[in-house]
Structures are given as structure tokens and as C-alpha cells.
Chains A and B, each alone.
Chain A
Amino acid sequence: MLYIGGQRKKNGQPTDKRGRVRPPYFGLFCLALFFFVVIFAELIAPFDPYEGNLQNTTLPPCWQEDGTTEHLLGTDMLGRDVLSRLIHGSRISFLISVGCIGFYGTIGIIVGLISGFRGGRTDMFIMRLADFWMSLPAIIVLFILASVHGPSAQTIILTFGIMGWPNWARIVRGETLSLKERDFVRLARVAGCGNLRIMFSHILPNVINTIIILATIEMGGIIVLTATMSFLGLGTQPPSCDWGLMLAEGRQYITYAWWLVTFPGVAIVIAVLGFNLTGDWIRELLDPKQKLQ
């Protein structure tokens, strides 16, 4: 622990009196806001996100001239309430990112466990396959899948699910490699446990830390990626209120309706920042190497 300017620091991060890294209050606040909105979307959204009123198109936010307190963040070119669309859009972002991570995380964990545990040729084969897989550009694959299946949220989940596993597999494999040499694995063998049992009951719980860290940190990245996909027209389709799609739709009106692109952008920033800051903090909390210092 270093004392810099009278303040305790660890790895450059401020800590409390007991030497723990201080929780990222701003990040936690962003995340809390995000989850609040995801859970209570119907209750807090003032309007239906899909129903517009053509008499009230492109109303500016309430604090501007012509703005109304009814539509706090204004309306879009079809007269739909921007705030309501943002609130409902949070659900899409959340479901897609959870779907992606759940999908490729499961594949990655299983493949990584097998690869690390079996070792030898199996390991070699899986890791070379992972190397090859990582060299494939995800966007091209998404183009192909989108042209076959049609662009949709499912296509995004499917693509990331297929493309995302190598990273997780590598990390889980690395952990498994060191864990399988530990004495408790030998003890499990002595007790008569089989390979599957050892992999999933004995090694997997020891990898969970890493998995939690990976998942929280990657959530932010996935939200940006899905927004990018929708922006390119490869993801969710109108009239969906996905944040990326809202950005794409608002882009053409940017010169006279700035709020159509700004607020979805701000929403993405809040969600991603929340996940990233919290993820970093969780890593500090859970990483056993940090505790030793």
C-alpha cells in the first residue's frame, strides 16, 4: 500500500481505511439505474414506446422552446416519446447481452474445462480451433447469418454465441490447467470421482470467480456491439426501440433534432460505464492474487 498525497492507494485505485478498494459509487449508481429501468420499464415509461402521435412529431426536450413537460426528452419523427423508447430499449439491450453471454459463456466454459482437463491432443485441437475462430471477423459472419436468417435480435445472439466462445475457453482452460494439478483433485480421484464429476463439481466452482469477472466486464462490450449491429441495420429492426436502432434512425435528423441521437448515446454510455466500473471493482474483490498483497 502506498501513501500518495496522504491518500491510501492500491494499484492506483483509492482504498478505504481497511485497505479495500473503494466501491465505484458512480458505476454502481449507473448500474442500479439501468437495472431499475429494466425491471420497472412498464411502470415508469409514460407512453407506449411504439405508438406515435403524428401531430407531435420531433418535439424537443422539455427545457427547450416548444418542448412540453408531457414528453420530457421530446419525441421522434413519428411522434413517439423518446424517454419511453429509451426505457423499453434498456430491456432489449439487457436481454441481448445476457443472451449472448449466457450462450457463448456456456460453450466457452464447457470447451475450456474439457480442453484444460483432457490436455494432450484434445487440448491442442481445441486451442488451434479457438485460434482459427478468433481470426474470423465477427461482422462478416454476422452479415452471412443476417442474410440467411434475416436480421434480428436472435441473429445477434446466435452470431456472438458462435463467435465469442474462444476467449472464454482460453481463460477457463488456463485456470483448469493449474487447478487440475492441485491436491484436491487428486483427493477427489482417490474418493472415486470420475472425470465429469471432477470437472463440474470440483474444478468449476473454483473458476466461478473468473467467470463472474469476465461476465460483468464483457456485458458493457456486448451492449456497445449490439448497438453497433443495430446501427448498421444488422440487428433488431424497426419499430424496435433498441438504442442502436434509435441512433441509426435519428442520424438523418441530427441537424435539427439533436435529442434523437444524443439520448440513446447517453443511455449506452451509462449502461456500459456502470458495467465496466463495477466489473473492475468485482475483479479487485474476487481476485485472490490481489488479496495476497
Chain B
Amino acid sequence: MTNKKAPKNHSEKVLAVTDLKTSFFTKKGVVRAVDGVNFTVDRGEIVGLVGESGCGKSITSLSIMRLVPQPAGKIVAGEVLFKGEDLLQKSDEEMRRLRGDRISMIMQDPMVSMNQLLTVGYQLGEVFKYHHPGNGGSLRERCVRLLEKVKVPSPERRLDDYPFQFSGGMCQRVLIGMGIANNPDLLIADEPTTALDVTIQAQILKLMKDIQRDSGTSIILITHDLAVVAQICTRVLVMYAGRIVEQAPVLTFYKNPSHPYSVSLIRSVPVLGHRADRLFSIGGQPPNLSNPPPGCRFAPRCNKVMPICWEKYPPEISIAENHQISCWLYAQD
């Protein structure tokens, strides 16, 4: 499951996010979509970021890219160290030069993410036009090579096609191509397979894994599909209501999930061959992020809730190497 070929040098952190807080200022009040997130990504690692809809996964990734929708959204606090430099301190122009070059992103829905009025080649070419122009042959040659890399058939001809002439899977390949064009250090994939059917999904995941192996790119894979995580990730981050509640290596996570939320999450996955009348589901709704409860955010839905859970948010507790949880169950005393 873990990727053995990737260089395992834990001192080399590509990304270190500390106490990241992103809020949306709406007429109904402040929504704290991301509320104190801490995590790191090592070189060559594929990190899975899981959680239910609206828990802040996408906003976390947009915050890293500095693409939070303006003017409602704002990064309020925190530090995003990318290879030792704080991205939040960078100017717009510096960020623009980083995007598509050192940090890249694959969008959720390939069909709406491409401009339908511009050819695929034109949009693909933009990644090269703004970063290292002139390297490695003409723009067109580079685009063709890129499409070959992501296995789009007859790339030379398809470059002049428009996105609506592509299928969903093909569009997603193009987006992945744009993402990896300049061999970035960090690639954020925001639910890259959600819009695709299962067979295409497998191909796309394999493609991403190959790319990570070949170029040593670190990948943050955002998904709510635990099967996908098990397939390609080395580490898992579980997010709930704007915070990370558990971080663990992927095998540990599936064998020994520790946070009550992670446990319920894994129980909710239907098992092939077992026919249950009702799928397991976590009762209740995630808290309203404009007015979160003072204690643990999962307390209202937790089956192991204790009095202290209602009062204070649990600290991050290390229960094994690389395995951190925010839960009072594991607090010693």
C-alpha cells in the first residue's frame, strides 16, 4: 500500500501548515470554514485528506493556493510554509509565478473547469507560456508530449479540439497534464475522480500514482472516498468541521482508527458481499460553522461522548509514531 520507491526523508518537508484559519464573512455572520488546521506533507508523499462535505477540505486546499473566493473569504491566521517560505506572506505576483510551476492543483469537475471557448491546446499551453518559456522545444511540442504523458490518444490532433469535444475522463487527463506540466513539488488534487465513472477512476488514480513515483511530486488528495485513499495514499488526514481530528499512516488508519469520527466513517463504508438492510450512518448533522459548539465539534454526534467533550476542545495527542488524534478519550490523566 505504501509507496516504497518514493524517497523517505522525513526531514524534508514540502509543506507545513500551522494553525491555518480561513473564514467567510457573510451577512449572517462569520463562517469559520477552516479553524486551526495543522499538518505537514513530506517530499514524495501522497496524503489523503478525507471528511464529509462542507468540512473545509476544499477551502484548506484553496487557502494553500491562495485562491480563496474573494472578497467574502479571507485567510485570518496561520502559516503555510512551502519549502520553508510562508506562502501567506507572498505578493500576488510571487504567488502567480509559483502556481502552475511549483504548486499545482487539479480541479474537481473537469468539464466546468475548462474554458469551453478556448482550445485544449491553448489552455494547456498557458502553463508553459508563463513558466520557463522556451525550455524543451516549441509550445506545441511540449503540449503534445504532455498529452502523451497523460495518455490522451492522438494528442497532435486533439490539441485543436475544444473541451466539449472531450469526454469527462479525457478532460480530467488534460487537467492532470496541466497540473504536472512543470513537475511541481506539490500537487493538490481536489476530488479528481468524483465526476468520473469507476473504471476511469482507476485509470486516473494509477496515472497520478505513476506521476508521483516518476517525479517525486508530493500530492494532497482530497476525497471523501475511503477506498481511493486506501488505494494510493501513504498517510491520511481526517477533517471534521474545519479541523483535523486524526492523522495516521494509511495502514494504521484502516486497522486501528482511533477517533470516534474515523471509526464511524470506516463503518459507514458498505462492505462488498455483506448485505445490510441499512447502511451505517452517523446520526445528526455537522455543526453550523458560523457558531460552532465550544467543546469538541463532534461531541453532539459522538457515541463515546464525555462531560469534558462539551467544555473544551481536545488537544492533539500522539498515540503512536505519526499518529495524532484530537480526542479526550486518549488524554492521559
A contacts, CB < 8 Å to B? 119-120, 181-184, 186-194, 197, 201-202, 205-206
Contact = CB atoms under 8 A, between A and B. Distances in A.
Contacts of A184: 112-116
Given A187-B178, A202-B118, A194 B96 contact: yes
A194 B99 CA distance: 11
B67 A192 contact: no
B237 to A, nearest CB: 21
A187 B114 contact: yes
A190 B96 contact: no
Q: Which secondary structure dominates chain A's binding surface?
A: helix
A206 B107 contact: no
B69 A181 contact: yes
Interface of B: 65, 67, 69-71, 93, 96-97, 99-101, 104-105, 107-109, 112-118, 123, 126-127, 130-131, 175, 178-179
A189 B178 CA distance: 12
A206 B115 contact: yes
Contacts of A197: 126
A119 B100 CA distance: 25
B107 A186 contact: yes
Nearest to B175: A187
Given A189-B99, A191-B100, A192-B99, A202 B178 contact: no
A190 B178 contact: yes
A192 B97 contact: yes
Nearest first, the 7 A-B pairs at minimum CB distance are A192-B100, A184-B115, A192-B130, A183-B113, A205-B117, A191-B100, A190-B105
27 contacts: A119-B71, A120-B71, A183-B107, A183-B113, A184-B116, A187-B113, A187-B175, A187-B178, A188-B126, A189-B67, A189-B99, A190-B65, A190-B99, A190-B104, A190-B105, A190-B107, A190-B179, A191-B123, A192-B97, A192-B130, A193-B96, A193-B126, A197-B126, A202-B115, A202-B118, A206-B115, A206-B117
Contacts of B130: 191-194
A186 B113 contact: yes
A190 B115 contact: no
A152 B164 CA distance: 49
Nearest to A179: B115
Which residue of A184, A187, A191, A206 has the most chain B CB atoms within 10 A of its CB atom? A191
Contacts of A183: 107-109, 112-113
A225 to B, nearest CB: 33
Contacts of A187: 107, 113-115, 123, 175, 178
A191 B95 CA distance: 11
Contacts of B70: 119
Given A182-B112, A192-B101, A193-B96, 17 more contacts: A183-B108, A183-B112, A183-B113, A184-B112, A186-B113, A188-B126, A189-B65, A189-B67, A189-B96, A189-B99, A190-B107, A191-B100, A191-B130, A192-B96, A194-B96, A194-B130, A202-B115
A188 B115 contact: yes
Contacts of A193: 96, 126, 130
B176 to A, nearest CB: 12
